[in-house]
Structure 1
């Protein structure tokens, strides 16, 4: 069944108005017509079975019929990733959504290369990935923030997994030893963190430095690997 993310409130009998792009997708790509069913979620009210109530010249009208799944809270893990090249960043956003990240925070560091970012494009990738993977929320993608500013305002109750490519850090088992709860996973830029950034990260009381193996990984590969290992250690894969 087609799944669609629509931010509007969901309740029995509610009329829903997809965007024009979503309407085109439903009628021109998926070939839905009046009376056909689809699933809709908004990140708050669970997943609902809906029907196409009307097909208009400029869009469609949906009607919510019944809730088929209650709302599920995603794992409390944030991906923090340096603003790398477009293709790698888009891949990381897609995979972070698939792997259950609750929030994606973009970071600028001393070695971050200037990038022309389209946050609307990254939001769309996260939304499409959520629709395809069955999750019932869409992670926010935050605008870039300087690493020092982010660390200055960090909530120490959230552990921060710092992926250190220089070696000497324990394997991912250190995360399991540190326990569950709220986490952030920090992935650096091409060229890595500077010695000063690395020293500060290692000195923070809420940070756990980990190794992702003997090879230096691309940022998008590192993000996918770290989230996968976090999920296996303390995430929601046992549900």
Structure 2
């Protein structure tokens, strides 16, 4: 950690993102307007959706890295894939935490087995399996190949989650359908700012974790 953040550009990036994160959090809870029928629960929207976006982005890059690792067997792609999978799973866990926080006052219960929630949980559990394979899969090279294959196959679930409102009938849907182009600027501007901040956090975490994983591999190789 010290080596990564001792580099001036990485330290500056960390300071800037920390400032933006604090500013974003204060803006969400103290300045963004409240929707009349949701009140404070609506604030979760500015955390829940960006978390989902970062989770999907992470899993997309894990899929790309998995494909390149299977084709080239280069360790750099395994490191990138593992880093993205870790970050994606952290943010997907945030999705599964913030979702019930929003749902409890709105639905009257924290969880409903509706299509989008169920497919999101399946995606999260698939990546739990990914990490179990990497940790307990025996031969490391074989475990890496299996994990890369899981990352590729698991991404199929992402468009299913995104398009679940089209795949299933309205009677089965409980998830709110937000038409972003119909939202006022008071909601759109802080939403896209939050999206930008969360994306920036992803890229910093990705650079850091890739560095740590690669450094650890190089160390183990020479021990």
TM-score by length of 2: 0.22
The structure with the greater share of residues assigned to helix is: 2
Structure with bigger strand share is 1
The TM-score with structure 1 as length reference comes to 0.21
Larger Rg: 1
Higher relative contact order (CA 8 A, sep 6+): 2
